């Protein structure tokens, strides 16, 4: 069976045979809530074209994106494997397709398969590394560089240069006000790097966008490509 999701496409033949009967194709809608803080993870989601956001909620209600998961990995993977409750809000950033599997079925195979355990740990490491990089990035780099980084990461994860993205969500991505996001997006559009209209982004010049992004995108891209290589 062919998968667009990197984790699923990297399964060994035995792991694929064991897991495929439990996989279900689903359609995820933008804004759909997958997990709230305190939830148990009953389903793990493997995006194929959807993009999942992990957001940390502060006591004053402010929300900051601390991770994004697309076709390279799986939403809910960390907490499902740990058997822990969810610490952050996890929702669908960009609508699209995904495969889902019950946590019970995945953990049962995980306990029986060293190869699946190794693969899962590789993905857990990448997810944790992204969160670490994001934490440092939010402290060290200005908002315009962070926006460029997130746009590039989103492009990687959806596998295309065009995707819907509202100013409200870009505000969550960067942790700045919508008015600031509007000015930053307008500057990128004026420079011919992106086109932005009615909540839709088109990356016109990826090289120029990379030049605008902070160094953290290099680490994010390296992790992404490393996971992509696992499927070959």
Q: What is the 3-state secondary structure (H, E, C) of 74-88?
A: CECHHHHHHCCCCCC
The answer to whether residue 22 sits within a structural domain is: yes
40 & 10 share domain: yes
148 & 131 share domain: no
pLDDT in tens, the chain (232 residues): 789 999 999 999 999 999 999 999 999 999 999 999 999 999 999 999 999 999 888 888 888 888 889 999 999 999 999 999 999 999 999 999 999 999 999 999 999 999 999 999 999 988 888 888 888 998 899 999 999 999 999 999 888 899 998 888 898 888 889 999 999 999 999 999 999 988 899 999 999 999 999 999 988 888 888 887 654 4
Q: Tell me what pLDDT residue 180 has.
A: 94
40 & 25 share domain: yes
| Residue 202, strand partner residues | 162, 195
Q: What is the CATH number of the domain that holds 69?
A: 2.60.120.10
69 & 131 share domain: yes
The answer to whether residue 225 sits within a structural domain is: no
DSSP secondary structure, 30-87, as one string: TT-EEE-TT----EEEEESS-EEEEEEE-TTS-EEEEEEE-TTS-BTHHHHHHT----
The answer to whether residue 219 sits within a structural domain is: no
159 & 120 share domain: no
Distance CA 74, CA 98 (A): 9
Q: Tell me what pLDDT residue 44 has.
A: 98
Single out the residue in 137, 156, 179 at which a domain terminates: 137
State the DSSP code for 231: T
Q: Tell me what pLDDT residue 231 has.
A: 46
Q: Tell me what pLDDT residue 94 has.
A: 92
125 & 73 share domain: yes
Stated pTM of the model: 0.88
Distance CA 148, CA 29 (A): 24
The answer to whether residue 232 sits within a structural domain is: no
Q: Cα 94 to the chain's mean position, in Å?
A: 10
Range of the domain at 35: 6-137
Q: Cα 58 to the chain's mean position, in Å?
A: 20
119 & 170 share domain: no
Q: Tell me what pLDDT residue 229 has.
A: 60
The answer to whether residue 199 sits within a structural domain is: yes
The answer to whether residue 228 sits within a structural domain is: no
185: Cβ–Cβ under 8 A, 6 or more apart, which residues? 147, 167, 170, 194, 196
129 & 192 share domain: no
Single out the residue in 96, 111, 137 at which a domain terminates: 137
The answer to whether residue 226 sits within a structural domain is: no
Q: What is the CATH number of the domain that holds 168?
A: 1.10.10.10
- Domain count across the chain: 2
116 & 152 share domain: no
The answer to whether residue 95 sits within a structural domain is: yes
Strand order in the sheet with 33-35: 33-35, 89-94, 51-57, 63-69
- Answer yes or no: are the C-beta atoms of 24 and 100 closer than 8 Å: yes
Q: Tell me what pLDDT residue 138 has.
A: 86
């Amino acid at each position: 069976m062919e998968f667009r999701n990197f984790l699923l496409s990297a399964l060994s033949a035995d792991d694929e045979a064991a897991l495929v009967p439990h996989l279900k194709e689903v359609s995820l809608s933008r804004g759909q809530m997958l997990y709230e803080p305190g939830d148990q993870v009953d389903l793990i989601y493997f995006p194929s074209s959807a993009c999942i956001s992990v957001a940390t909620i502060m006591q004053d209600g402010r929300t900051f994106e601390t991770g994004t998961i697309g076709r390279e990995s799986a939403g809910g993977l960390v907490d499902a494997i740990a058997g822990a409750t969810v610490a952050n809000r996890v929702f669908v950033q960009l609508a699209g397709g995904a495969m889902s599997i019950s946590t019970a079925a995945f953990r049962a195979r995980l306990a029986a398969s060293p190869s699946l355990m190794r693969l899962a740990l590789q993905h857990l490491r990448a997810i944790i590394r992204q969160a670490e990089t994001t934490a440092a990035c939010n402290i060290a780099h200005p908002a315009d560089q962070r926006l460029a980084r997130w746009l590039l990461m989103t492009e990687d994860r959806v596998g295309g240069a065009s995707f819907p993205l509202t100013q409200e969500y870009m505000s969550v991505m960067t942790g700045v006000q919508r008015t600031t996001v509007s000015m930053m997006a307008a500057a990128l559009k004026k420079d011919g790097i992106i086109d932005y209209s009615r909540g839709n982004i088109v990356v016109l010049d990826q090289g120029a966008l990379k030049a605008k992004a902070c160094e953290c995108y290099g680490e994010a891209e390296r992790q992404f490509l490393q996971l992509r290589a696992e499927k070959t």
